[in-house]
Amino acid sequence: MNKPKVGIIGLTGCSGDQLVILNCEDQLLDLVGAIDIRDFLTATSANDTESRLDVAFVEGSVVSQKDEDLLRRVRERCTILVALGTCAVWGGIPTMDRDQDRPALLRAVYGDLNWEYDTCPAKALHEVVKVDLNLPGCPIEKDQFLATVANLLNGNLPLLPDYAVCTECKMKENNCLLIEKKQVCLGPVSVAGCQARCPSLNIPCVGCRGPCTDANLKSAAATYAENGVAMEDVIRKMKTFAPVPVSEQP
Amino acid sequence: MTQTIKIDHLARVEGHGGITVNLEGNAVKEVRFDIYEGARLIEALVVGRSWEDVPQIVSRICAICSAAHNLTAIKAIEDAFGVQVTPQTRALRDLLYRGESIESHALHVFLLAAPDYLGYPSAIALAADKPEAVKLGLRLKKLGNTIQEVIGGRAVHPVNSVVGGFGATPTFEQLFALRRDLQQGLSDCEAMVEVLATLPPADFCHTPTVFAALDTAGDYGYYEGNTLRLTTGKSLAASKYRKLTNEMAVPHSHAKHSHYDHKPFMVGSLARVMLFGEKLTEKAQAAARKLGLTLPSDNPMDNNKAQAVELLFDVEYALETVEGMLREKVKPETPVEIKPKAGTGTAATEAPRGTLFHSYTFDKQGKVTAADVITPTAQNLACCEYHFRAAVDQDPEKNPAVLAKHLEMIARAYDPCISCSVHLVVSR
């Protein structure tokens, strides 16, 4: 059997999801044996940027024409496009610019630009091209990435959790930070898959994996209200990692 | 005759950048380190946010340096609010910072830099011929990640470190397991020195260089301290960082550059070893000798050697810290209470790639009104171009393929983190 041809490509972002791939230290050499990595600029200087790819993993969000052009080229040359990480899936931290005056933000950071600077409001991959699979997380979880590769090698798509972080938190028998400590925890409205990492360390969930599309928003809103947590704090916090549409706000 | 050497996409670095050198005859006309990374405007986006949200948001500036950004923001916020943390918190932060440095250096030395010396395009290709060397690097990299997972709760973008302390204290069992990993790590470090000592020399850029680093006051470290030192003998307070990082528009380049006393300066492992190398253990100093790292250094390629020396030292230091914690039993602590107040807080720390500055101004509710982040790579760009120029000048043959390889190796020796650097660097 021919090994599937794979590209690991970064748009604008922190490279955290590519770093998680490199952090699979125990599996890395098996991984590069099982797939044919054609294009991985962060790890190698021998890249083939033209040939067909069976799978392209794309990290980061689109914040420039250059990003958008690259993403369209990748879409054309790949069969399965996987959005890798919350920036790719939802837009991530850069989309905090959604309700703000972007030219003013640019001036605030860079001063007055006297030249044409390639920049545009931050977008998720699905806002530009068709995405076949979403792997959220800021960064992605190692085991979910490896499970995804294993499933793709067998011709399947992976089963990823679509329930809320609260489900995993209850399984770990943690004390509830929202109900018992009245903290702004996004567990009820954020998608699971992290084994409730933060609440397990007494840290409220910041929603870095993005919203849970299967959340019971009415019940979450009632629970926040009962515990004296202001809804505007919840929404502001949710919008840190994803420009959550109103239909997915509690 | 004019000639251009252009590297469009610099591989094996974090983020997107390129190199351009224009020659006229044998004279270097222009040298540019181009940055293609898009603008994410993180400093503008934290304005209006509560102090509590800041360390998690700014850690996303960069993944490899995420603990550095997170902890430096915490140090700046604590400076603004006058927070005093417990000795245990200080020790755990020191350990977390070293964990990141171990991971970052192992990744850079073995997976990014080493393939150049041996003529391979990547560590993946290198692994086919020298699997043991790559596995050794991966084990050390994993050790750094394990420290970050145990102390920070996650290897990339730590969650457990917060203003005032930690969400949860690591357990005795976790630290006991970490001790075993560190013991293995120490023998791996000795093997690392043996392996790296066999690499061919990289002798194509020698020029007097100014180095700068944070004086971490006590032991050789990365987190504490507030005074910056330069190899010119000058010092300045971290709160006056703008004097050091003053962004100068330079005519030959698109980027604003950092100069001090009109000279570019280099930050990072080599700068730290240059300024504070006498604080290293005998074992680490012996490793430096074995690797042929002679001080004072005039070769930016020595940064790779300095990283290896720091890696060994940090494993030794972390092992001692963990053994101390096991002896004295870590006790569960909760973060100290925070009372926000209006004012500015500034912090400098030594990130794996060099001195990192964070400065925030808050209103009396503790909401950010101004934020400024200056990264090591941004400070290094001017010096990196200075070294590019020297390498081209010093090459008698000016063979474009050889020069391109040397320029890439110099860029990579700086271990640039381009995601980080875009704060003050804009490509035309």
Are residues A103 and A21 part of one domain? Answer: yes
Average pLDDT over residues B307-334: 96
Q: Do B44 and A105 touch (CB under 8 A)?
A: yes
- Domain boundary residue among A101, A133, A153? A153
What lies within 8 Å, CB to CB, of B125 at 6+ separation is A44, A46, B115
Nearest CA in chain B to A96: B45
Bridge partner residues of B356 (DSSP): B349
What the block records as the tokens of A228 is 């004296």
Helix, strand and coil content of chain B, in percent to the nearest 5, comes to 50, 20, 35
Burial class (CB in 10 A: 0-12, 13-18, 19+), B22: middle
Q: Is residue A182 part of a domain?
A: yes
Are residues A111 and A19 part of one domain? Answer: yes
Write the ipTM.
0.95
What the block records as the tokens of B198 is 């066999």
Are residues A97 and A196 part of one domain? Answer: no
Q: What one-letter code names the amino acid at B422?
A: V
Q: Is residue A46 part of a domain?
A: yes
Q: Which residues of A are less than 8 Å from B426 in CB distance?
A: 110, 113, 117
Q: Which residues of A are less than 8 Å from B61 in CB distance?
A: 14
Q: Which residues of A are less than 8 Å from B56 in CB distance?
A: 206, 208, 240
Is some CB atom of chain B closer than 8 A to the CB atom of A203? yes
Q: What one-letter code names the amino acid at A102?
A: R
What does the buried/exposed string (b/e) look like for B355-378 if buried means 16 or more CB atoms within 10 Å of the residue's CB? Answer: bbbbbbbbeeebbbeebbbbbbbb
Nearest Cβ partner of B57 from A17, A93, A203? A93
Q: What is the pLDDT of residues B164-214, one digit of tens each?
A: 999 999 999 999 999 999 999 999 999 999 999 999 999 999 999 999 999
Distance from CA of A79 to the nearest CA of B (A): 24
**Taking the domains of chain B in order of start, what are their residue ranges?**
2-421
Are residues A169 and A117 part of one domain? Answer: no
Nearest CA in chain A to B373: A109
Are residues A144 and A39 part of one domain? Answer: yes
Distance from CA of B314 to the nearest CA of A (A): 19
β-strand B17-24 against B2-7: which pairing, if any? antiparallel
List A residues 145-174 in contact with B (Cβ-Cβ < 8 A).
none
Distance from CA of B279 to the nearest CA of A (A): 31
Q: How far apart are CA B182 and CA B13, in angstroms?
A: 27
Are residues A205 and A112 part of one domain? Answer: no
What's the pLDDT score for residue A99? Answer: 77
Is some CB atom of chain B closer than 8 A to the CB atom of A43? yes
Q: Which residues of B are less than 8 Å from A25 in CB distance?
A: 138-139, 141-142, 145
| % of residues, chain B, pLDDT over 70 | 94
More confident: B32 or B417? B32
The answer to whether the CB of B223 falls within 8 A of the CB of B216 is: yes
What does the buried/exposed string (b/e) look like for B101-123 if buried means 16 or more CB atoms within 10 Å of the residue's CB? Answer: bbbbbbbbbbbbbbbbbeebbbb
- Domain boundary residue among A124, A153, A182? A153
Distance from CA of A159 to the nearest CA of B (A): 23
What rounded mean pLDDT belongs to chain B? 92
Query: Most B CBs within 10 Å: which of A6, A8, A20, A25, as the mutation test of the B interface?
Result: A25
The answer to whether the CB of B6 falls within 8 A of the CB of B20 is: yes
Q: Do B139 and A25 touch (CB under 8 A)?
A: yes
What the block records as the tokens of B213 is 């680093």
What's the pLDDT score for residue B427? Answer: 33
Q: How far apart are CA B354 and CA B177, in angstroms?
A: 30
Q: Does domain B2-421 have CATH number 1.10.645.10?
A: yes
Q: What is the pLDDT of residues B294-314, one digit of tens each?
A: 999 999 999 999 999 999 999
Domain count, chain A: 2
Sign of CA dihedral B54, B75, B377, A49: negative
pLDDT band for position B17 (cuts 50, 70, 90): confident
Nearest Cβ partner of B11 from A47, A100, A122? A47
- Domain boundary residue among A133, A153, A173? A153
Q: Is residue A159 part of a domain?
A: no
The answer to whether the CB of B345 falls within 8 A of the CB of B370 is: no
Are residues A196 and A140 part of one domain? Answer: no
Q: What one-letter code names the amino acid at B352?
A: P
Average pLDDT over residues B73-97: 98
Q: Do A22 and B111 touch (CB under 8 A)?
A: yes
- Rounded to a whole number of angstroms, the CA Rg of chain A reads 19
CATH number at residue A88: 3.40.50.700
Q: How far apart are CA B255 and CA A126, in angstroms?
A: 33
Q: What is the pLDDT of residues A105-156, one digit of tens each?
A: 877 777 665 556 788 889 999 999 999 999 999 999 999 999 999 999 999 9
Are residues A145 and A182 part of one domain? Answer: no
Q: What is the pLDDT of residues A16-67, one digit of tens each?
A: 999 999 999 999 989 989 999 988 887 777 778 888 999 999 999 999 999 9
What lies within 8 Å, CB to CB, of A32 at 6+ separation is B124, B127
Q: In the sheet where A36-39 sits, what is the strand order?
A: A36-39, A5-10, A53-59, A78-84, A133-135
Q: Is residue A53 part of a domain?
A: yes
Nearest Cβ partner of A16 from B125, B156, B423? B156
Q: Do B39 and A96 touch (CB under 8 A)?
A: no
Q: Do B13 and A42 touch (CB under 8 A)?
A: yes
Q: How far is CA B259 from the centre of its chain?
A: 19
What's the pLDDT score for residue B325? Answer: 96
Q: Is residue A160 part of a domain?
A: no
Domain of A123 in residue numbering reads as: 5-153
Are residues A136 and A115 part of one domain? Answer: yes
Q: HEC profile for A100-156?
A: CCHHHHHHHHHCCCCCCCCCCCCECHHHCCCCCEEECCCCCCHHHHHHHHHHHHCCC
Q: Which of B322, B343, B7 is nearest to B176 (CA)?
A: B322
Q: Which residues of B are less than 8 Å from A94 in CB distance?
A: 40-42, 45
Q: Does B41 have pLDDT greater than 90?
A: no
